[in-house]
Structure 1
Amino acid sequence: MRKRRRRVVLADPRGRGRVLRTIIELEEQTSVGEKLIRDLIRQQMRTALVLGGGTLLLLALMPAAFYAFPVLADVQVVGVHLPWLLMALLPFPLCYAVGYAYRRVAERHEQDFVNSVDR
């Protein structure tokens, strides 16, 4: 005698209708779906402007700081003037760190977006 198959449900099916409705709104590009996507894009753009703009401002102000404070320009480290050393070595790790931070924040924004859709 064969045993009958039994369906085992591990997740609660309640609330699935709202998730499907939100996904349909995103796919059909309704006004609600467009607002959700616009908010995600706005968050990503704000993050890019803050991190990228701050980095650009820092890199642009370094030569101005050395011009404004000539005492700093005369400092030598390992026989190389400090402005040359900082302008040659600082941008690369700084840009890498900012890119890494931006990627982490962007992924967090996207995960928050997915979580808000899955609610």
Structure 2
Amino acid sequence: MPSAEAGRPRAGAGVAGDPRSRTRVRVTSPRTSAARTRSVSIASEIDEQTRLGEVYITSLMRSQLRLALTVLVILASTLGLLPLAFRAVPAIADIDLLGVPLPWVLLTVVAFVEIIGLGWFYVRQSERNEDDFSDLLEGR
């Protein structure tokens, strides 16, 4: 004996006039489409000079300033203190290194090596800051 449900169509089978046979509609939140259209890049924020773009540029400038001040403090604390060391310990002037007074060696050779080394360090770190900023702009 067939069951009572055997004569009825299954749910969603598509009988004419059946409200379940209509095309399916996907219901989404209205915020979903708004989030997709708001995809603004950081570069465009900077180009349009918005407040957010200003924050990013200020951040880059601060990191570069911090680096410059760090290098300046290192240079001032080493080369700037040499004359004070010569004044505090006058016996340094009596020491010769290959026939050249030690203060001259320290103020020429050592100073140039330090300046070149700090310059190399500054350029390398500055480029690293800019690369990090570029990566941020590209979204990596």
Q: Structure 1 length as normaliser, TM-score?
A: 0.78
Residues 25-54 of structure 1: CA deviation (Å, up to 9, x unaligned): 010010000000000000000100111232
Larger Rg: 2
Does residue 55 (structure 1) correspond to residue 75 (structure 2)? The answer is yes
Moved over 6 A (4+): none
Name whichever structure is richer in helix by fraction.
1
Map 1:1-119 to 2 at 5 A. Answer: 18=39, 20-119=40-139
Q: Which residue number corresponds to residue 11 of structure 1?
A: none
Q: Structure 2 length as normaliser, TM-score?
A: 0.67
Residues 33-90 of structure 1: CA deviation (Å, up to 9, x unaligned): 0000000000000100111232123111011111112232221111221011211222
RCO (CA 8 Å, sep 6+): is it higher in 1 or 2? 1
Number of residue pairs aligned between Structure 1 and Structure 2? 103
Q: How big is the alpha-carbon RMSD for the aligned residues of Structure 1 and Structure 2?
A: 1.8
Q: Percent identity?
A: 36
Aligned partners of 1:31, 1:45: CA distance in 2, in Å? Answer: 21
SS at match of 1:90: helix
